[in-house]
Chain A
């Protein structure tokens, strides 16, 4: 949504602190920011804190916003940093814990070859399944999770993701593939069991 929206906002009004324009900006981007925070943190209270802090800090910084990145990239960046800060506060051991996906060869991330695509959408998206999708994404390390959220859930391009996170496009691609493979494995195990259960009757 970012590119088209950008044109709708007057940077001049935003920089000068025009409250109506700021309210419009908040409404245009708050759902995306809230979604990213929810997926990063898996907790509605934490997500709300991130949402509020993101816009609070953005509004303070607007007078000096230079427009080198798009408004949406800039807001995503603030939200990601706020989310990571909260994660570190909640889990002081954050930096020490290696997730299994960090040092695994990609080849080893391919062990499940069950074809579960044939399951009906009502089953793939049941509320139980959605709960599992949320759990699975939390199993990713933060650096993989954030790339997957921006690229595959928010549908940012590789370039926008790299700008938001201030890492190279090559790094985005490496982390994205790894995140995708880990999640595909986990979903294959989950839906594979459902397929087996169905076959058993």
Chain B
């Protein structure tokens, strides 16, 4: 097996690696590589962080109450608009 995976070859598997869906042999090769290659380690870390930040900051997006009311009105569901508040 090629022990000297170069940075370019590693790029094609980057998504699979950060998503943790890579086969274990290739995963080990990449881990060997980033232990020695600082640029690739930074790429992996900052890529993970990029994905994390987008997910984390979007997670809390909720529908403003007035937007929900107008939605229910448009859908002719005004009589159900109160229901959700009973849950919260």
Query: How many chain B residues touch the partner (CB < 8 A)?
Result: 36
Determine if A152 is an interface residue (Cβ-Cβ < 8 Å). yes
| Contact residues on A (Cβ < 8 Å of other chain), bracket | 35 or more
Bound-complex Cα distance A115 to B15 (A): 19
Interface residues of chain B, those whose CB is within 8 Å of chain A, are 8, 11-12, 14-15, 38-39, 42-43, 45-47, 49-51, 53-58, 61-63, 67-68, 70-72, 74-75, 77, 79-80, 83-84
| Beyond known contacts A48-B70, A183-B50: 15 more, CB 8 A cutoff | A19-B79, A22-B75, A23-B72, A27-B83, A31-B63, A48-B67, A52-B71, A113-B43, A115-B45, A124-B53, A153-B55, A176-B15, A177-B14, A184-B47, A187-B50
Does B15 contact A107, Cβ atoms closer than 8 Å? Answer: no
- With A113-B43, A117-B46, A153-B58: A180-B71 Cβ-Cβ less than 8 Å: no
Q: Does any Cβ of B come within 8 Å of A87's Cβ?
A: no
How would you classify the secondary structure of chain A's contact residues: helix, strand, loop or mixed? helix
Q: How many A-B residue pairs have CB under 8 A?
A: 107
B56 to chain A, nearest CB (A): 7
